[in-house]
A and B are shown apart, each in its own frame.
Chain A
Amino acid sequence: MLILARRINETIMIGDQIEVSVVDIRGDQVKIGIRAPRTVKVYRKEVYQLIQEENLKAAQSMPGSLPRLDSLVGKGGAPAVQDGGNPKP
């Protein structure tokens, strides 16, 4: 990994189209500005990773384990609300 030291308002270029600037530094938090072509998607790494990990977990869902939502909500104790039911006082 290339490691560069930068001060506030200094920028690095990645290729000739992507600019990364240090906008602010406060305590242990750094604000980073990114200018990139619209075709380049910029995500916080943890968001992308979270979605990827959740997909790997979701892909383990087994056939036959799918509940019917209506029956389950009924079982949970909360009575299903019928249209036209009496409003609670």
Chain B
Amino acid sequence: MRIVTKAYGAKDVDERQRLHFPGGIPGFADLLEWVLLDAAEQPFYWLQSVDRQDVAFVLLDPKVFRPDYDPEVDPEELAEIGIHSPEDVLVFSIVTIPENPNLMTANLQGPVIINRRTRVGRQCVSLDPRWHVRHAVLEEMGAVRQHAC
């Protein structure tokens, strides 16, 4: 399938990169079809809307900067996208990149969870009060590294 992406223009995507979000994403409830693309810059990904080329999110595996991260979401929310076993789960955080990219933040309170078997996803709400919507990625990454000294 060929789609137009915000980051890379027209691009061929494999069927296996397609994701279905039955409830959309908060703020974009009407966008149900998405694709997951590797970003040119590791370790990021793009979550690109199929229907609106101007809507795309930068994603990051939160363990990259918070190895201690556990999204802790209501199992009911997982069951709604057919997840019954931890092996089915893929977890991403949506990243917000301001003008100065060094100040980018990741949303750990609203993890994007994907059933890797069926490629159905949703943005869940973490029940753990430690996680909020704006974690300074570089700062917390540095803290982890220093801690490792």
- Which residue numbers of A lie inside 8 Å of B, CB to CB? 38, 41, 43, 47-48, 50-63, 65-69, 72-73, 76, 78, 80-81, 87-88
Q: Check A81–B96 contact: CB distance below 8 A.
A: no
List 15 contacting pairs A-B, 8 Å CB cutoff, sorted by A.
Answer: A38-B76, A51-B133, A54-B94, A54-B110, A55-B107, A58-B58, A61-B96, A66-B41, A67-B102, A67-B104, A69-B42, A72-B102, A73-B138, A73-B145, A78-B142
**Is B148's CB within 8 Å of the partner chain A?**
yes
Given the known A-B contacts A55-B94, A58-B57, are A69 and B141 also in contact in the complex, defined by CB atoms under 8 Å? yes
Alpha-carbon gap, A52 to B139, bound state (A):
24
Alpha-carbon gap, A48 to B102, bound state (A):
26
Alpha-carbon gap, A52 to B102, bound state (A):
23
**Is B91's CB within 8 Å of the partner chain A?**
no
Which one of A41, A48, A61 lies within 8 Å of B95 (CB-CB)?
A61
Which of A41, A48, A88 gathers most chain B CB within 10 Å? Answer: A41
**Is B27's CB within 8 Å of the partner chain A?**
yes
Given the known A-B contacts A54-B110, A69-B64, are A62 and B133 also in contact in the complex, defined by CB atoms under 8 Å? no
Alpha-carbon gap, A33 to B35, bound state (A):
39
Q: Check B58–A48 contact: CB distance below 8 A.
A: no
- Least distance between A47 CB and chain B CB atoms (Å): 6
Q: Check B134–A76 contact: CB distance below 8 A.
A: no
